[in-house]
A and B are shown apart, each in its own frame.
Chain A
Amino acid sequence: MRILVISLLRLGDVLIASPALHGLRRKYPSAKIDLLVNQNFISLKSILPDVDELIPFDRDGLQDGLAEASCPLFESLDYLDEIINKLKSNQYDLVVNFTQNKLSGYLTSLIGAKEQIGLSLSANGQPSYSSSWFRYLNDYFAADIADRFHFTDIFYLGSGLPTGTNKFVFNESPVGKAEALNFFSSVGYASGPKVVVQALTSDIKKTLSRSKWVDALTQFQSFESDAHIFLLGAPNEAAELSLLQQELKDKGVRSDLAILSLDGALALLNVSDLLITGDTSIKHLASGTPISIFEIAIGSSDYKKTGVYKPGSLILKSNEPCSPCQHSAACHRESHLCASQIPSELIALAASKFLHHDWLALQVLAEEYSDCANLLKTEWAKFGLWMARHLTDRGTQREISDQLSRLAWKFLLEKEHLKPLAAYGSESLKLKEAFESDWHPDNQLRIKMSLEHIELTTLSSETRINKILSAISSKIKLFGSFDGVDFIDSELVKEIIKVESDLGLGKILSEKFNPKSASDFYQIRQLQNSLNDVFSHQQIKLKLIRSLRSQITENA
């Protein structure tokens, strides 16, 4: 069997797919698995054990051929033809598209395979997904729904892989080991924890200022005087990191520059104790090592989608309401508030406590600094989804409702609710187990009341959505066609927008209608489909709540 996985975005996006690649390898142990990546990531082959061949997509070469007037008119067409023919000649049985943009959608269709998973586009632009998870990613993520899943989970579950093997797996190459050994022999090895700091990110909005890093690391060193600080970066980051190193030295903090390749970075992470990082590809790499990972999520970092995946990791998130912001847009505030509002002593204290896995102390910190930042702990729940749980919000009504909501989406996307013996009981038991450590026996009453309240709210939402659906259906039956009829009057528009806001649905519903042309057949159908999804979601959530309540009552 031959499988092609398409991952044509950035380095972090390729690394985040590691569990799905590992899952595919476990499901198809004798298959040849190829990975199509941008040309500059071809060296990843040495660290991806589940991939047989990395195929380069020369995006730069194709773009040059298009943009340069000194290139022949058909050069890029011919070059693309060569790339496509090579892929077609491999006669793939399965193509899995993790990229989910138009380019990859057309490519997936053009390559042609017996089976396709993920976005594929027809010649006239019609999408198909072959997986509800990828449809959810394209339709609902784009509409900014509150119930977001980690990309790793979407890639994994969207590939039809069984729950339970979501591991990041990377190979340490001989070249990487040698690089790390060289590094340690140049800096001198001594006892004491090794702390790797990835200070720079690809986006200035996600990067703490140099002065903040200097303050935080100076304070950290005062708590952990025997720690060794390694400033990790790629060769093009050496100059910037040297400045940081010099400023730290001026404050009496010793640090070493670790300018390494990705292979070398992996080897370094494998033997170090703590990584402090922004939202970078290094944190995804670190998820495949034993190192403890502390992520500082600011700017456009959306931890729900791309947070550090490894269970037992720590995420520090800004409280600023505008975070996470758009990737492509510049910061719209007068200053980079989401970074500047995070006290450097919080970073230092959190890193110190996390180094010693003192979660109780971290909980206290989270309470003390809750007005400016959130601290979250990552976990992998038995019901098959990654979670990042607020240290101050554990076992609260909001948290329980959020997790029920996400589990309900999982049911819906995997069509579990359509099975004759749907697993409401076993899944709600897993949810109960996930929260059990936070449920003090004395809190049983509070939890029951929370579930009662969540049930009432969900019931109310279900009723409201049903009313909207009935209103639209009645009009269709009454008039029999879509011409010249205002199916979504202003009152209905208001109610839809309110439901959307109350349920954290982003713009799932409102983006599907244009009040000025409400009689458009396609729009109405799209809206009905989304409303049906949301209605089913609320119904599933209700069943899960009732199952969870009965579990608690039984054990009372």
Chain B
Amino acid sequence: MLERISAKNKCAVIKWNGKYICSSVDPVKEAGDWVKKQQMRLSRQKNIIVLGAGCGYHLTALQKAFPSIKILAIDVFSELIEFCKKEHALDLSDVAFECISSIESLVANKKIYNFLKSRYAVLKFSPAVSVHAELYDKIEVMLLGRTVESAEFLGRIRPEFQPLLKSRSGMQESRYLFSIKTLDESLNKESSEDLVYKVKILKELIA
């Protein structure tokens, strides 16, 4: 149940089922601080998926700080997406929104599918994802591709990397986490030379 409220600094914020999904005091400052923490990492990114549309202030702060980055905001509730679009119509005109209410809808979503074809980062806005933490966690796991199931999902989207997902060791365990070591183990005679070189270079970085 969405409740629209005025924060102490007069900005419009939301209470979802009685819980604030951003700061009730100064959501703009909260958003700015959140972006500052990501600064180093985001300076080299071109595409970002943000989990939790929330009240939208973190999205406007992100867009302002990195105007050339493509942002895709995912929320599990369409009402929150509508709020963001109305409240920040001008500032978020370049941000794409997708409502994802289950893992099945995530896997079937064409916009997300296309977004995952190139390099991206995944960020979570904690106050916003707290409304449905379990589902957001599952979405994050699928997008990161570090488990067997999620790696297979990403492998379907990026067929050029499928040869790297055939590691023999430990794959049966559902909690198994993929790493560069796993990818290296999968290299074989059929792997393209370019891919072999790249995996070897990355392995040297953590040697």
Contacts and interface: CB of A to CB of B under 8 A. Distances in A.
Interface residues of A, number: 31
Interface in A52-106: 58-59, 61-64, 66-67, 69-82, 84, 101-103, 106
B151 A73 contact: yes
A72 B205 CA distance: 17
A262 interface: no
Interface in B120-179: 120-122, 143-146, 150-151, 154, 158, 161, 177-179
Contact of A71 (B121, B150, B197, B201): B121
A66 B206 contact: yes
Contacts of A72: 119-122, 143-145, 154
Contacts of B178: 73
Given A61-B44, A82-B119, A70 B144 contact: yes
A103 B44 contact: no
Interface string B34-52: 0000000100100000000
B161 A123 contact: no
A109 interface: yes
A110 interface: yes
Contacts of B183: 77
A73 B154 contact: yes
A75 B146 contact: no
Contacts of A73: 144-146, 150-151, 154, 178
Interface in A423-466: none
B202 A62 contact: yes
User: Secondary structure at chain B's binding surface: helix, strand, loop or mixed?
Assistant: helix
Given A102-B204, A107-B201, A71 B118 contact: no
B46 to A, nearest CB: 9
A467 to B, nearest CB: 41
B43 to A, nearest CB: 9
B158 A67 contact: no
B198 A69 contact: no
Contact of A74 (B41, B122, B158, B194): B158
A400 to B, nearest CB: 43
B44 A79 contact: yes
Contacts of A101: 204
Contacts of B15: none
B193 interface: yes
Nearest to B178: A73
Contacts of B197: 106, 109-110, 123
Interface in A25-73: 58-59, 61-64, 66-67, 69-73
B182 to A, nearest CB: 9
Interface string B102-121: 00000000000000001111
A73 B179 CA distance: 7
Contacts of A70: 122, 144
Given A61-B44, A110-B194, A110-B197, A74 B202 contact: no
Nearest to A79: B119
B196 interface: yes
Contacts of A110: 194, 197-198, 201
Contact of A78 (B118, B179, B205): B118
A69 B177 CA distance: 9
Most central of A61, A71, A77 by chain B CB within 10 Å:
A77
Contact of A80 (B41, B120, B161, B201): B201
A349 B131 CA distance: 73
Most chain B CB within 10 A, of A70, A72, A74, A123, is at: A74
Contact of A64 (B41, B120, B194, B199): B41
A66 B143 contact: no
B205 A74 contact: no
Nearest to A77: B198
B198 A66 contact: no
Contacts of A109: 197
B146 A77 contact: no
A111 to B, nearest CB: 10
Contacts of B120: 72, 75
A103 B205 contact: yes
B44 A58 contact: yes
B200 interface: yes
A106 B158 CA distance: 24
A412 to B, nearest CB: 31
Contacts of B118: 78
A79 to B, nearest CB: 6
B146 to A, nearest CB: 6
A67 B193 contact: no
Contacts of B154: 72-74
Given A71-B121, A81-B198, A110-B197, A66 B205 contact: yes
Contacts of B207: 102
A243 B204 CA distance: 39
Interface in A91-136: 101-103, 106-107, 109-110, 123
Nearest to A82: B119
B63 to A, nearest CB: 21
A74 B120 CA distance: 9
A71 B144 contact: yes
A74 B183 CA distance: 10
Contacts of B44: 58, 61, 79
A58 to B, nearest CB: 6
30 contacts: A59-B205, A61-B44, A62-B202, A64-B41, A66-B205, A66-B206, A69-B177, A70-B122, A70-B144, A72-B120, A72-B121, A73-B144, A73-B150, A73-B178, A74-B145, A74-B154, A75-B121, A76-B180, A77-B198, A78-B119, A80-B198, A81-B198, A101-B204, A102-B200, A103-B201, A103-B205, A110-B197, A110-B198, A123-B193, A123-B200
Given A72-B122, A74-B145, A106-B201, 6 more contacts: A69-B177, A73-B144, A73-B178, A74-B161, A75-B119, A109-B197
